[in-house]
Amino acid sequence: MGTPRMRAISQDEFGSPEVLRPVEVPRPSPLPTEVLVQVHSAGVNPVDLKTRSGAGMAAVLGDPPFILGWDVAGVVVERGFGVHTLRVGDEVFGMPWFPRQAGAYAEYVTAPSRQFVRRPTRLDQDQAAAVPLAALTAWQALVDTAGVQGGQRVLIQAATAGCRAFRRPDREVPRCLRHGDGPRRQVRRRPPARRGRDGRLPHHPVRGRTARRGRRPRSGRRRDRPDQHPLARRPPARRPPGRRPLRRLPRPGRERPAARPARPRLPGRAGRRPALATLASLVDEGRIEVLLGGTLPLDQAAEAHGRLERGEVEGKIVLRVDH
């Protein structure tokens, strides 16, 4: 009896979506503390597109061939030695091995049991596969790094389809403020400066400045001292208590030493399970709703990447694996 095999989507070189092709590879076996998950749905993320073309996590995965994908939703079909948190038949979802290769674009994946949690009852397999990477990224930025509390509002700049993958059921749009949104304020504009007969702005011969916006130069009053400037009398801006910026810039003369270079913070494998379990409970409580931008068969992974690159998807696109 030969080694069991499975269908997967692989690539032999970096490039356009056409490099993705269906192949047959040996089915993995779970090691101690690992589980074998039969994949029902796999989420497609922008990092998949970047890695396929040679950017993203390509430096971590190395040269092709490899199998893309990290978002997984499926059923546990086999347990390795020492697994006690999950049982055979449990429906789970997660983001295993990130940023290393997980091979979600396949019929089966293996990973440590701590990298999966049980699927929320409110979500089906397709919706559950759209949650892990995008939701954990938002959790890391807002909760772990910024410390955002309940009732606060967050401004999200350059919000695109990823922002609209999740929403509150009682609202038609996500609970986020994008740059330019919000009520318009009535702004009092100053009248334009009066020009002379020749069409030029009047010039003050004493101060040597051109009058603009209808202001007349004040004579006999000079502000040579810095402390007499109007802006110098304003109190310094203070950040409300309990809020932290997402990134702190080093003060002048106090730059980071060369021995401690800045490294990108990725969600640790040990820290994903509590956050993912909390997100699953929020979904079960009805506080988060997942929006799908489309579902395609596994063999059409190239088409899914093409739609995402062309911006034709609003929400998350998911690959469905038929067994």
* 287 vs 241 pLDDT, higher one: 287
**Is the pLDDT assigned to residue 23 strictly greater than 90?**
yes
* 188 vs 235 pLDDT, higher one: 235
Give residue 180's pLDDT band: very low, low, confident or very high (50, 70, 90).
very low
Structure confidence at residue 103 (pLDDT): 94
**Is the pLDDT assigned to residue 15 strictly greater than 60?**
yes
State how far the Cα of 152 lies from the Cα of 52, in Å rounded to an integer: 38
Domain boundaries, the chain: 5-130+292-320
Give 296's strand partners: 319
The answer to whether residues 26 and 5 touch, using CB atoms and an 8 Å cutoff, is yes
* 150 vs 298 pLDDT, higher one: 298
User: Which of 61-75, 200-214, 246-260: highest mean pLDDT?
Assistant: 61-75
Helix axes 132-139, 269-284, angle to 10 degrees: 100
**Is the pLDDT assigned to residue 258 strictly greater than 90?**
no
Give residue 184's pLDDT band: very low, low, confident or very high (50, 70, 90).
very low
The answer to whether residues 215 and 209 touch, using CB atoms and an 8 Å cutoff, is no
Structure confidence at residue 216 (pLDDT): 53
Which amino acid, one-letter code, is at 3? T
User: Which of 62-71, 265-274, 313-322: highest mean pLDDT?
Assistant: 62-71
Give residue 148's pLDDT band: very low, low, confident or very high (50, 70, 90).
confident
For the record, the structure tokens of 219 come out as 């004579």
Which amino acid, one-letter code, is at 99? P
**Is the pLDDT assigned to residue 123 strictly greater than 90?**
yes
Q: Name the residue among 8, 36, 35 with its Cα closest to residue 22.
A: 8
- Mean pLDDT (whole number) for 113-142: 91
283: exposed, middle or buried (C-beta count within 10 Å: 0-12, 13-18, 19+)? buried
The answer to whether residues 40 and 75 touch, using CB atoms and an 8 Å cutoff, is yes
The backbone torsions φ and ψ at residue 34, rounded to the nearest 5 degrees and listed phi first, read -110, 165
State how far the Cα of 49 lies from the Cα of 105, in Å rounded to an integer: 13
DSSP E strand stretches across the chain? 5-11, 21-26, 34-44, 66-67, 71-79, 91-94, 108-112, 116-118, 155-156, 166-167, 177-178, 289-290, 292-297, 316-320
**Is the pLDDT assigned to residue 245 strictly greater than 80?**
no
pTM for this model (two decimals): 0.69
Give 66's strand partners: 11
* 253 vs 71 pLDDT, higher one: 71
- Mean pLDDT (whole number) for 106-120: 95
* 250 vs 262 pLDDT, higher one: 250
Residue 66, C-beta contacts closer than 8 angstroms, at least 6 positions apart: 10, 11, 101, 103
% pLDDT > 70, the chain:
64
**Is the pLDDT assigned to residue 273 strictly greater than 50?**
yes
> Which of 123-137, 175-189, 294-308 comes out lowest in average pLDDT?
175-189
Give residue 193's pLDDT band: very low, low, confident or very high (50, 70, 90).
low
Distance of CA 100 to the CA centre of its chain: 18
pLDDT in tens, 283-296: 999 888 888 889 99
Residue 119, C-beta contacts closer than 8 angstroms, at least 6 positions apart: 73, 91, 92, 93, 125, 128, 280
> Which of 38-52, 115-129, 135-149, 279-293 comes out lowest in average pLDDT?
135-149
As a three-state string, the secondary structure of 66-89 is EECCCEEEEEEEEECCCCCCCCCC
**Is the pLDDT assigned to residue 21 strictly greater than 60?**
yes
> What is the third-level CATH fold of 5-130+292-320?
Quinone Oxidoreductase; Chain A, domain 1 (3.90.180)
**Is the pLDDT assigned to residue 270 strictly greater than 90?**
no
Residue 320, C-beta contacts closer than 8 angstroms, at least 6 positions apart: 40, 41, 125, 126, 295, 296, 297, 298
Structure confidence at residue 186 (pLDDT): 41
